[in-house]
Amino acid sequence: MVEIRELGRNKEELMHFINFAWEIYQDDSNWVAPLKSDLLKLFLGSDISKKLDCGPHTFFMVFENGKPLARALVGINEKMNLKKNINTGYFSCFETVNSTKAVKCLMDHALNWLKKQSINRLIGPLYPNDDVDNRGLLIEGFDSSPVLMTSYNPTYYQQLLEEYGFKKDADFFAYYCDNFDMARARVDKIASFAMKKYHFRIDRIDLKQVDLEIKDLIKIIELIVAHGQEEENGFEYSSPPSYEEFSLEVKKLLPFVDRDLIYIARSGDAPIGFVLALPDYNQVLKKMNGKLLPFGFIKYLWYKNKIDGIRGFAQYVIPRFRNKAVNAAIFQKILLAAEKKKYRYIEGSSINENNLKSRRVFENAGIKPYKIYRVYHKIF
């Protein structure tokens, strides 16, 4: 008999929730296991970012004769709902066996839980209050492992969600570049021309002055928000961060930063845009299989210096400098650094299919999408 349980907020129950993913992906060589300890901290609310503090949430698991079939984290981002004047819930950490009845049981209970809190729309899969991590369901591009902080799932998830009644809300593209010479040949002229014509320069973010740099980065985001352009700049499913939230996120990433991959554009002393990229630490996580101890940390130290990929995951330009090739000029710097430091590839992700300005940065350089992620919605 199929039954559903709402899990308790304790280590034992939540570890059942976490460990279920290993059952789904045990024979999938492309899957990259997350760190179990990080997930447990997130779920218990003891992580630095406090992402689940955005609103009420719960953990559902479906079982049949004691065997787990499906799971999901279901919640409400109250800050986003208030900002956008909507009544929307989200689902995250969705995993399931290939079973229509399991998904129906799971989602029926998710909708009932949300209805009791006056919610009438469900979106997902999404990471809580985050438009960078694991956004959307992978629907194209299953032939390679995911890069850092991107989604991966079995191919059958799409059919199961759509059979339940979920509709496409938006698709997001990932771009892959491993021909740096071709990309630079197209970007170099554009970047040089734009910097001279529009009077801006590209600076490497100074990690020795990180607090001052963070203030400039948040100024850029605040200007974007003030002009009502946050959804055009990646905040489709979350609310723009406060200075404190953004500072925490940046500082959390500092141990993993390659200082040659993070740049800010300035006109005079005024910050006008930035792009952040990180080495693809999924190459390391894949070796660790979700465990930091006893040998995971040793593997981390060994493999982190062998990373040969990059993920560019954040690009913002203030309204006055949009359409002036600011992102292209920063991308030129990242390409130069990638060549110099012997990186093999760069992924830029994930970009809303309707964000043509950001897509052109890659497509004008001859780079095409190679993965597509879909966020779904269901009105009830």
Name the residue with tokens 């002055």. 209
Domain 2-174, CATH:
3.40.630.30
Report pLDDT for 234: 66
**176-372 CATH fold:** Aminopeptidase (3.40.630)
Residues of the chain with pLDDT under 50: none
Report whether 377 contacts 122 (CB < 8 A).
yes
Residues 144 and 179: their CA atoms lie apart, in Å, by 18
Strands in the chain per DSSP E: 2-6, 57-64, 67-76, 88-96, 121-124, 137-140, 167-177, 201-204, 262-267, 270-279, 309-317, 345-352, 369-379
Report pLDDT for 128: 80
Report pLDDT for 127: 87
Instruction: Give, in degrees to the nearest 5, the angle at Cα 52 between 49 and 56.
Output: 155
Question: What is the four-CA torsion angle of 25, 26, 28, 34, rounded to 10 degrees?
Answer: 50
Single pTM value for the model: 0.94
What is each CA distance from 61 to 110, 142, 222, in whole angstroms?
Answer: 11, 26, 39
Report pLDDT for 238: 82
Report pLDDT for 83: 86
Report pLDDT for 233: 66
2-174 against 176-372: fold identical: yes
Report pLDDT for 227: 84
Report pLDDT for 297: 79
Residues 49 and 157: their CA atoms lie apart, in Å, by 29
**What are the boundaries of each domain within the chain?**
2-174, 176-372
